Amino acid sequence: MLSRMVTLEVEGLKILGQLYLPGEGDQTPYPTVCVCHGIPAKSPDPSDRGYPLLAERICRKGLAVLIFNFRGTGASNGNLDILGWTRDLKAVIDYLWALPEVDRSHLSLLGFSGGATVSVYVAAQDKRVLFVVTCACPAEFSFLTEVDEPQSVINHFRGIGAIRDKDFPYSVEDWLSGFRLVSPIKHVAEIAPRPLLLVHGSKDEVVDVSHAYKLYARAGEPKQIIIVDGAGHRLRQNDGAMAIIIDWLKSQLL
């Protein structure tokens, strides 16, 4: 397995990531998975190797994998902004599309929670994405956009370091309207006829499992829904859920 750091510039911001390749001797180009993390709920834990470990696990199956930090998270610049996240992902897809190691006919997105919403939104518009997997994906962001005190949401993200500039957002209403626009329930049908897999925990404590059923009902074919019995929101920490997802990716990409 080979890995290399990736630095992209998007709207003057540095977006950092890491690309994993199955290694020398294997035939290229590789089917490729772009992993999109969720919206942070707390300050980052430097010891948490969750996404790198997941990338390595997928890569060992013969797939190239890119993980990266959206703006406002990790070592990337900027502030948490969901519409900005969609532009970050588009730039990442541009980067992958230009790599000789990437099989353009087998490019997939694997999104978690907020990253899954961005994956649905971008895939609906960008036909270069051929396969989509969502984990714990909200159908809509009602829990963010219908709060009585939107400033409390801003203060939360500022407190955990996802909003870093004191004058951001310049308009709270515009910032919140981005979440309304990106809501997957509005866009999931546009992924068809490309394959879609929806994975959700039956005991998700953040995004109720009903969201998965709403998205499944709206999505076009081919589609599949898997409810992981007893699983909570953090599906990347659930070995059973990840095994199901990796098997599905292999069946579609290899």
User: What's the whole-number mean pLDDT along residues 163-177?
Assistant: 93
Distances (CA, A) of 165 to 78, 79, 162, 182: 8, 7, 9, 23
Cβ atoms < 10 Å from Cβ of 21: 21
Mean of pLDDT over the chain: 93
User: What's the whole-number mean pLDDT along residues 157-182?
Assistant: 94
Residue of 3, 67, 59 whose CA lies nearest to 249: 59
In sequence order, the 6+-apart residues with CB closer than 8 A to the CB of 240 are 228, 231
Per residue in 222-236, is it b (16+ CB within 10 Å) or e — as a string?
A: ebebebbeebebbbb
Residue-wise pLDDT for 193-220, tens only, equals: 999 999 999 999 999 999 999 999 999 9
Residue 227 confidence (pLDDT) above 80: yes
pLDDT of residue 21: 96
pTM value is: 0.96
Distance CA 43, CA 183 (A): 25
User: What's the whole-number mean pLDDT along residues 171-192?
Assistant: 95
Residue-wise pLDDT for 91-133, tens only, equals: 999 999 999 999 999 999 999 999 999 999 999 999 999 999 9
Residue 241 confidence (pLDDT) above 70: yes
In sequence order, the 6+-apart residues with CB closer than 8 A to the CB of 86 are 118, 121, 122, 182
Residue 25 confidence (pLDDT) above 80: no
Q: Label residue 148 by pLDDT band (50, 70, 90).
A: confident
DSSP annotation of 85 reads: H
Q: Label residue 178 by pLDDT band (50, 70, 90).
A: very high
Helix axes 150-159, 172-182, angle to 10 degrees: 90
% of residues, the chain, pLDDT over 70: 94
List, in order of start, the domains of the chain with CATH numbers: 2-253 (3.40.50.1820)
Q: Locate the DSSP E strands across 113-193.
A: 131-135
Distance CA 253, CA 247 (A): 10
pLDDT of residue 4: 95
